[in-house]
C-alpha cells in the first residue's frame, strides 16, 4: 500500500470509530428517554438541557470508579475478557459500507466475516463468566454460550436467502442487487428471523437471560466494575449497531432511498443511518414492551421456530429461483 492509501484508510477508521463511539454514548441516552416516555416518565433531565450531558457524566463516573477484582478470579482471563468483546465488535465495522464508496475493507465474504466475529464476541461473555469465579457470573456465561450457538445458526440461515438472491456475500453487491426493490419484500420470513435472532444474539430484552438481574444479579459481568464494566456496555451497543446495519444492508436497501423529487438529493449516509436507527428504536420498543422469557422458552423459539422458518425460507427461495 502507498502512503496515500494508508492515510485514507486511517481517515476511514477515524470516521467510523467516531460515529460508533458517539452512537454508544447517545444510544444509551436515547434508550433511557424512549423507554421513559413509553412508561410515562421523563428519563434523564438534570445533567445538561434535557439530560443531554448524561452520557458524558456516566463516562466520567465509570472512568474514575474503583476497579474491584475478586480475590479468587482467574486474573489474566478476567482482564482480557471485556477486551475481546470490544475488539470483536469494532473489528466487524471494517466491512460495513456506510455508503456506496465508503468501507474500510470491501470483502467478497463480508457477511461471513461479520458472523465469524460475532461468534468470537461470545468468548468474551463465556470467559468473563468463568474467570469471575462467581456462581452468578458462571451461570450467565453458560446461558450465553448456549444462546449464542442457537441463535447464530438462525442468523446465518436467515441470510442464505439474501445471498442466493444477490448471488454474492459481498455487502456492497447485496445493496446494489436491491436497486429495484428491497429484499424485505421478497424475504419477509428471513427478515423476521434475523431481527428476532439479532435481539437474542446481542443479549437484549426480552432475551437478556445471560444478565437477568432478577436471577443472576447482573449475570456474566456481576463481578466487573469501572471501565471494565464500561467495555462490556460498549460492546453490547456496538453489536446493536452492527446487527441493525446488517439488517439494513441485507433487507432494507442499505444506503438507497426513494429515487424521486427532493429525496434523490439526500446523502446516502443519511438514508443508511435513518434505517439503522429505526431498527435500534425497535430494540428499545421491544425492551419497554415485553417481559423476559424463561430460558426454556428462549431455546424453544430458537430451535423449534426460527431455525425451521429459516430452513423453509431457503427451500422456498431456491424453488422460486429454479422456476
| Average pLDDT value for the chain | 87
- Give pLDDT, residue 1: 63
Residue 76 sits at φ, ψ, to 5 deg, of -60, -45
Measuring CA to CA, how many Å separate 55 from each of 230, 231, 240, 273?
A: 12, 14, 17, 20
Query: Which residue did the predictor score with more confidence, 112 or 264?
Result: 112
**Residue 193: per-residue pLDDT:** 95
Task: Tell me the pLDDT band of 254, cut-offs 50, 70 and 90.
Answer: confident
Listed residue (67, 98, 84) closest to 225, CA to CA = 67
**Whether residue 269 has pLDDT greater than 70:** yes
Asked whether 94 and 65 are in contact (CB, 8 A), the reply is no
Name the band, by pLDDT with cuts 50, 70 and 90, for residue 290: confident
**Band of the pLDDT at 154, cuts 50, 70, 90?**
very high
Residue 207 carries which DSSP code?
S
* Residue-level pLDDT at 263: 75
Q: Is 90 exceeded by the pLDDT of residue 248?
A: yes
Q: Over 70: is that where the pLDDT of 66 sits?
A: yes
Q: Which residue has the cell 428499545?
A: 284
Q: What is the pLDDT of residues 50-59, one digit of tens each?
A: 888 898 898 8
Handedness of CA 252, 162, 97, 302 (dihedral sign): positive
- Residue 306: what pLDDT? 95
Residue 250: what pLDDT?
A: 94
CA distances from 309 to 82, 153, 188, 290, 315 (A): 34, 12, 11, 22, 10
CA–CA distance, 308 with 264 (Å, rounded to integer): 40
- CA-CA-CA-CA torsion sign (50, 272, 239, 13): negative
Amino acid at each position: 500500500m502507498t502512503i496515500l492509501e494508508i492515510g485514507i484508510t486511517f481517515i476511514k477508521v477515524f470516521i467510523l470509530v467516531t460515529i460508533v463511539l458517539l452512537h454508544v454514548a447517545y444510544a444509551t441516552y436515547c434508550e433511557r428517554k424512549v423507554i421513559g416516555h413509553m412508561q410515562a416518565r421523563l428519563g434523564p433531565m438534570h445533567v445538561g438541557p434535557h439530560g443531554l450531558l448524561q452520557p458524558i457524566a456516566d463516562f466520567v463516573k465509570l472512568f474514575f470508579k474503583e476497579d474491584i477484582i475478586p480475590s479468587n478470579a482467574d486474573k489474566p482471563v478476567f482482564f482480557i475478557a471485556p477486551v475481546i468483546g470490544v475488539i470483536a465488535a469494532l473489528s466487524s465495522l471494517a466491512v460495513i459500507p456506510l455508503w456506496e464508496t465508503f468501507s474500510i475493507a470491501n470483502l467478497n465474504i463480508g457477511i461471513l466475516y461479520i458472523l465469524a466475529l460475532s461468534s468470537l464476541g461470545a468468548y468474551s461473555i463465556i470467559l468473563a463468566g468463568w474467570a469471575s469465579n462467581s456462581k452468578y457470573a458462571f451461570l450467565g456465561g453458560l446461558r450465553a454460550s448456549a444462546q449464542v450457538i442457537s441463535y447464530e445458526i438462525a442468523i446465518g440461515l436467515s441470510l442464505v436467502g439474501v445471498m442466493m438472491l444477490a448471488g454474492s456475500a459481498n455487502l456492497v453487491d447485496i445493496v446494489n442487487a436491491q436497486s429495484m426493490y428491497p429484499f424485505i419484500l421478497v424475504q419477509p420470513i428471513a427478515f423476521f428471523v434475523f431481527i428476532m435472532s439479532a435481539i437474542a444474539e446481542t443479549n437484549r430484552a426480552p432475551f437478556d437471560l445471560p444478565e437477568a438481574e432478577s436471577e443472576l444479579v447482573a449475570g456474566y459481568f456481576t463481578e466487573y466494575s469501572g471501565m471494565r464494566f464500561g467495555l462490556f456496555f460498549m460492546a453490547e451497543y456496538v453489536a446493536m449497531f452492527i446487527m441493525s446495519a446488517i439488517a439494513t444492508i441485507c433487507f432494507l436497501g442499505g444506503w438507497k432511498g426513494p429515487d424521486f423529487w427532493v429525496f434523490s438529493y439526500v446523502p446516502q449516509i443519511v438514508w443508511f443511518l435513518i434505517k439503522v436507527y429505526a431498527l435500534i428504536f425497535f430494540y428499545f420498543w421491544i425492551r419497554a414492551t415485553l417481559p423476559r422469557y424463561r430460558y426454556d422458552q428462549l431455546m424453544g423459539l430458537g430451535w423449534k421456530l426460527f431455525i425451521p422458518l429459516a430452513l423453509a425460507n431457503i427451500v422456498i427461495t431456491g424453488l422460486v429461483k429454479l422456476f
